[in-house]
Amino acid sequence: MMKNMSDNGFLNRIFKTYYRQYKEQESSKFNFRQREFGFLFWDRNYMLRHKSFDHLEQLKDFLIKTGPRHVYSSGAIYEKPDNPNMDNKEYLYCDFIIDIDVDHFYTPCKEKHDRWLCKNCGNSGNGMIENCPKCKKAKIKSISWVCDDCLNHAKLEVFKIIDNFLIPDLGIDESEINITFSGHRGYHIKIENEQMRNLSSEFRREIVDYITGDNISFEVLGLKSINNVIYGFSRESIGWPKKIYSKLEEILKNYSVEALRNKLRSYELTGGNIETILNNKKRILYEIYQNEERVWRVGLSMKALYKLLDGLVKDIGGNIDEPVSIDIHRLIRYPYSLHGKTGFKAQPLKLHELDKFNPLNEQNKELDPIVFESKKNHNLEVIEEIPRMTIKGQPYGPYSLGQQIEVPNHIAILLLCKEVAKTI
């Protein structure tokens, strides 16, 4: 079923009205004039890039005139941000940006609310896949949904990265951390720190590997086996060995037997190894952290130990979209702009505001990403299956193909932005 082409015109007009009343403060750290801006519009598929603006008012005029579907700005600062040739932009430095998006990691609730459609053979199903199970092609259109569980997962990732890596290990000050809810399924963390700003892409990659735990070498941390005696991590190590121990302590001490068994199963340990761990919890904690000789007599082979450590590392490491942090010329969603897949606002947050922040039902008007809430109703026809959702505390759906529905303004805008319904 086709969407109604005039719906994009409606969304375009409604986005313009938002930008008319848009009151953003210019931040000196943002270096407004030196950022590159990029836009996607409602009537074409390519991005307008290499734009720059002298001041906020000029950008605002542009937004009111054009009402773009998506607004982006560069993490980088350039002498000539509007030069269309990257080599002639005269790059100065780039904020360190971390993107946490549920699109890039698994959450169990996706089986319930996300759908995929193979553009090659027409096969479809629930959940998240990379290749079509029938024709094996990777031409997949995914229809992802906004959901409280997914957004909570994303929020926990943000805390994990800030509390376990940015503040203790990288020495970033809380005041240098800017968090933005993307307006869809994730958050950005932007670090405005002099040293981080000047890092090359190669160094950024090393930091990304450190945060994700990818390529971690247990040998470098001191793990080795000599004559069937296993020697563990060097005692002086901090950072990862300490994180691994804390996580191990958390699951061995706090989890119920059943929860621990499930956790260890998810690490792909065998039944025998799992029982060994369950029966030796105290001893394992002692050997791994307190034994001065660094000899780990834990009843596990090196192979099983690797499985356990790999599993712990995956749990500890941050789930981030790596290219966003590494590529210094990347554009990211502009704070306070509207997300064209939801009609929600990209909402900046201070670290202390994050815990209570509830993107789909925020009580603080200042922080509420849902800007089009109103009692005005719209009549729509459903053109893609729509899962059940809860927005502003109200349940909607599920709605089936061809169903005619009457929904309030902010829900209509969400469904039209998602292209799962059309006006009738």
Beta carbon of residue 183, minimum distance to Zn ion (angstroms, whole number): 16
The answer to whether 109 contacts Zn ion (rule: CB under 5 A) is yes
Q: Quick one: 145 or 372, whose CB is closer to Zn ion?
A: 145
Beta carbon of residue 319, minimum distance to Zn ion (angstroms, whole number): 14
Using the rule CB under 5 A, give the single segment among 50-58, 113-121, 258-266, 405-413 that binds Zn ion. 113-121
Q: Quick one: 55 or 134, whose CB is closer to Zn ion?
A: 134
The binder of Zn ion chosen from 83, 123, 126, 390 (CB under 5 A): 123
Beta carbon of residue 97, minimum distance to Zn ion (angstroms, whole number): 24
Q: Quick one: 109 or 354, whose CB is closer to Zn ion?
A: 109
Using the rule CB under 5 A, give the single segment among 121-129, 249-257, 260-268, 278-286 that binds Zn ion. 121-129
Q: Quick one: 253 or 388, whose CB is closer to Zn ion?
A: 388
Q: Quick one: 31 or 152, whose CB is closer to Zn ion?
A: 152
- With beta carbons less than 8 A apart as the criterion, state whether 422 and 399 touch: no
Q: Quick one: 118 or 412, whose CB is closer to Zn ion?
A: 118
Count of positions on this chain that bind Zn ion (CB under 5 A): 11
Beta carbon of residue 141, minimum distance to Zn ion (angstroms, whole number): 11
Q: Quick one: 86 or 135, whose CB is closer to Zn ion?
A: 135
Beta carbon of residue 1, minimum distance to Zn ion (angstroms, whole number): 20
The binder of Zn ion chosen from 94, 132, 412, 414 (CB under 5 A): 132
The answer to whether 118 contacts Zn ion (rule: CB under 5 A) is yes
Tokens of 199: 């890092």
- In order of 95, 149, 152, 289, the CA distances from 255 in angstroms are 39, 21, 21, 19
The binder of Zn ion chosen from 1, 48, 86, 135 (CB under 5 A): 135
The answer to whether 149 contacts Zn ion (rule: CB under 5 A) is yes
The binder of Zn ion chosen from 11, 76, 100, 150 (CB under 5 A): 150
The binder of Zn ion chosen from 1, 48, 86, 121 (CB under 5 A): 121
Using the rule CB under 5 A, give the single segment among 48-56, 74-82, 123-131, 176-184 that binds Zn ion. 123-131
Q: Quick one: 64 or 109, whose CB is closer to Zn ion?
A: 109
The answer to whether 120 contacts Zn ion (rule: CB under 5 A) is yes
Site of interaction with Zn ion (CB under 5 A)? 109, 118, 120-121, 123, 132, 134-135, 147, 149-150
